[in-house]
Structure 1
Amino acid sequence: MEEKQSVIELLKRAAKLLFGNINLAFFLFLCSLPLFCFLIFFELSLQTTISLAYQFLSEQLSFEDYYTLKDHEDLSENVLIPWLIQTSLLYLIPYSLLDLLTTTTIVAVSSIVYTSEDKPLGLLYLVQRTIKICQNRVGGCLITSLYVLFWSTSVFFGLFSDSTNYLFIVSFSRRYEIFLDLGAMLFHVMVVLIHGTVFVVLTAKFSKWSAGWNMGMVISVLEEDEDGQGIYGSDAFSLSAWYGRGHEKRDLWMMLVFLVLALAMRLPCLYSKCSESSSRNGVLYTSLYVGFICVGNVLKWVACVVSYHDCKTRVFEKKGDVEQAKPSAT
């Protein structure tokens, strides 16, 4: 309960910082517009890819009597593969670059406002300071983001493999009718428990690691070493682990909140197949939940900035207390 309350307090402080400064809110709105426009196109492509992949797996694993596929013709790999390539390229190149630039800007300007001690800051001043920070840090942030992209993609492949293996086992069992006795039913229950446990553990680990990755991105934007150079890559993640020590559960809960909300907003559109809708309702709903995702993305990064400054202050206060407690040299 204490961890959940600390998450709520952190989100309240982030929301207060975000909406308590009109110049900050307006600047972040402008910065998020390119990502918002691109995400509409990307989400429609992702919806189509998921729908085709679902249909293809259903046909290959003989789920036709489980799921109604009367409105679809037989799907071949030649239809699915181009959509997979297109969505993967959109995610790896334009989306990753846009997300990197948006994240760097959000972190930089949020930190400027947070450390201003409630002094009124003009929009032009925020733009100039943010551009200066981003110019000096974008290279290091790119290296850090490549680390994050590699690890997050590996986790997604793990989740996909776990789900596909479960579907394969279920299909094999149904095809050869091995669920006819009690022993076979118990075997099925064990398979569900094993794959469900793997899925839950990977999701929890992904949320926990995401908190460290996000802190590492914040450090790559805001921190510098003794030579005035940025801290990025593995050094940023090591420093992130040091700063976040003692708040692992709070960070886990916060990342889970944003992950669940993002999935919950996507599910209705995936279920109703918005990308295949002949009317404009699918595009309108996609635009609506993409807007909520962008707002949640801004709030998440502002919360990460607030958490970073709090953790850094706490670490240095403890370090100062330890140094004061040391006996003086004789």
Structure 2
Amino acid sequence: MNEKLSVMELLKRAAKLLLFSNISLPFFLFLCSLPLFCFLIFFELSLQTTVSLTYQFLSQELELGGYFYLQDHKDLSENDLVPWLIQTSLLYFFPYALLDLLTTTVIVAASSVSYTSEDEEPLGLLCLVQRSTKICRKRLLGVLFHAVVALIHGTVFIVLAVKFGKWSAGWNMGLVVSVLEEEDGKGGIYGTNALSLSYWYGRGHEKRDLLMMLMFSVFAIVTRMPCLYSTCSERSSGNGVLYTGIYVGLICVGNVVKWVACVVSYYDCRARVLEKKDDVEIGSKAKAFAT
């Protein structure tokens, strides 16, 4: 059995799959990510305004900003802040969550098709689209159910940062399982069954998966920080939208790389589990034969 893949090896394989294996894959994923990219620009501008108003309101109430800060900013009331909080929350829980789920499902399906393709010639764009669509069409409702389960658990346990990182890695693997795994004669595997199977596949890889999820989470936070700090949404020159578009593009690229790496990790973990299972069965048969 080969050695376990490290985080860097997973990322290298993901980059190789995206950049060198099949030119149709990155082009297809680019097209699939465009709706999410466009929506994220609008969402991030709303988030920046909400964070800025929240900071101003708290500074005003708690007098954290000092005299000169309070003189430079108008008085804010709850009526100024609450509509932005409601708008940003609604944008996150419905359009963003749904778009992100659809985009993720397509990324996982297309990456799997390309990664497991046994054709000597690279898959054409039309063939890649057809195979990916076939997978997505069969699994979308089940994946949606899994996403709802993950969202509920994430909302309940988000205060536990390290545990949330571990659970996030398990949920991501569970979503990949929901898209790709099939139970003999019973269709796909979803919800708690997918989470259980993802835990089984991920045993022995917990630290690696946690590290990878933390890397992508830190990348997303660090990428957002300059615009959140400088409040790009309040700039009238239009540069704020440009800067927001740039970092949203980086976030979308990171999202694609993350899910392709999750697909690579899924096939690596699955192969190891099945290999161990075969070894155990062979050992049991040999022991029974010897006795």
TM range (shorter): over 0.9
Matched with 1:254 is 212
Question: What is the rounded CA distance, in whole Å, between the counterparts of 2:245 and 2:227 in structure 1?
Answer: 11
Matched with 1:237 is 195
Question: What is the rounded CA distance, in whole Å, between the counterparts of 2:273 and 2:197 in structure 1?
Answer: 11
Change in CA separation of 1:66 and 1:323 when aligned onto 2, cut-off 3 Å: farther
Matched with 2:74 is 73
Cα contact 1:4–1:253 (8 A) shared by 2: no
- From 265, 282, 296, give the equivalent of 2:254: 296
Cα contact 1:4–1:250 (8 A) shared by 2: no
Give ranges in structure 1 of 5+ residues lacking alignment: 159-201
Matched with 1:309 is 267
Corresponding letter in the other structure for 1:109:
A
TM-score (norm 2): 0.93
Q: Does 1:152 align with 2:154?
A: yes
Q: State the Cα distance separating 1:89 from its structure 2 match.
A: 0.7
Question: What is the rounded CA distance, in whole Å, between the counterparts of 2:25 and 2:269 in structure 1?
Answer: 23
Question: What is the rounded CA distance, in whole Å, between the counterparts of 1:133 and 1:262 in structure 2?
Answer: 29
Question: What is the rounded CA distance, in whole Å, between the counterparts of 2:5 and 2:281 in structure 1?
Answer: 32
Cα contact 1:40–1:286 (8 A) shared by 2: yes
Q: State the Cα distance separating 1:134 from its structure 2 match.
A: 0.5
**Percent of aligned pairs sharing the same letter:** 69
Q: Does 1:272 align with 2:230?
A: yes
Q: Does 1:136 align with 2:138?
A: yes
Change in CA separation of 1:137 and 1:5 when aligned onto 2, cut-off 3 Å: closer
Question: What is the rounded CA distance, in whole Å, between the counterparts of 2:140 and 2:213 in structure 1?
Answer: 24
Higher mean Cα deviation, 117-126 or 236-245?
Answer: 117-126
Question: What is the rounded CA distance, in whole Å, between the counterparts of 2:65 and 2:132 in structure 1?
Answer: 54
- 3-state SS in 1 of match to 2:7: helix
Q: Figure out how many residues of one structure are paired with residues of the other and give that number.
A: 284
Listed as ranges, the matches of 1:195-234 within 5 Å are: 202-234=160-192
Matched with 1:328 is 288
Change in CA separation of 1:67 and 1:220 when aligned onto 2, cut-off 3 Å: farther
Question: What is the rounded CA distance, in whole Å, between the counterparts of 1:130 and 1:75 in structure 2?
Answer: 50
Q: State the Cα distance separating 1:257 from its structure 2 match.
A: 0.6
- 3-state SS in 1 of match to 2:183: coil
Change in CA separation of 1:67 and 1:268 when aligned onto 2, cut-off 3 Å: farther
Corresponding letter in the other structure for 1:17:
L
Matched with 1:182 is none
Change in CA separation of 1:10 and 1:228 when aligned onto 2, cut-off 3 Å: same
Cα contact 1:243–1:311 (8 A) shared by 2: yes
Q: State the Cα distance separating 1:60 from its structure 2 match.
A: 2.0
Give CA-to-partner distance per residue, 1:120-143, whole Å, 9 cap, x none.
111101111111110100000000
**Root-mean-square deviation over aligned CA pairs:** 1.8
Give ranges in structure 2 of 5+ residues lacking alignment: none
Question: What is the rounded CA distance, in whole Å, between the counterparts of 2:5 and 2:218 in structure 1?
Answer: 18
Cα contact 1:140–1:232 (8 A) shared by 2: yes
Q: Does 1:49 align with 2:9?
A: no
Q: State the Cα distance separating 1:225 from its structure 2 match.
A: 1.4
- 3-state SS in 2 of match to 1:68: helix
Q: State the Cα distance separating 1:82 from its structure 2 match.
A: 0.6
Question: What is the rounded CA distance, in whole Å, between the counterparts of 1:319 and 1:271 in structure 2?
Answer: 52
Corresponding letter in the other structure for 2:174:
G
- 3-state SS in 2 of match to 1:8: helix
TM-score (norm 1): 0.83
Higher mean Cα deviation, 317-326 or 205-214?
Answer: 205-214
Higher mean Cα deviation, 147-156 or 252-261?
Answer: 147-156
Matched with 1:19 is 19
Listed as ranges, the matches of 1:74-223 within 5 Å are: 74-117=75-118, 119=120, 120-156=122-158, 158=159, 202-223=160-181
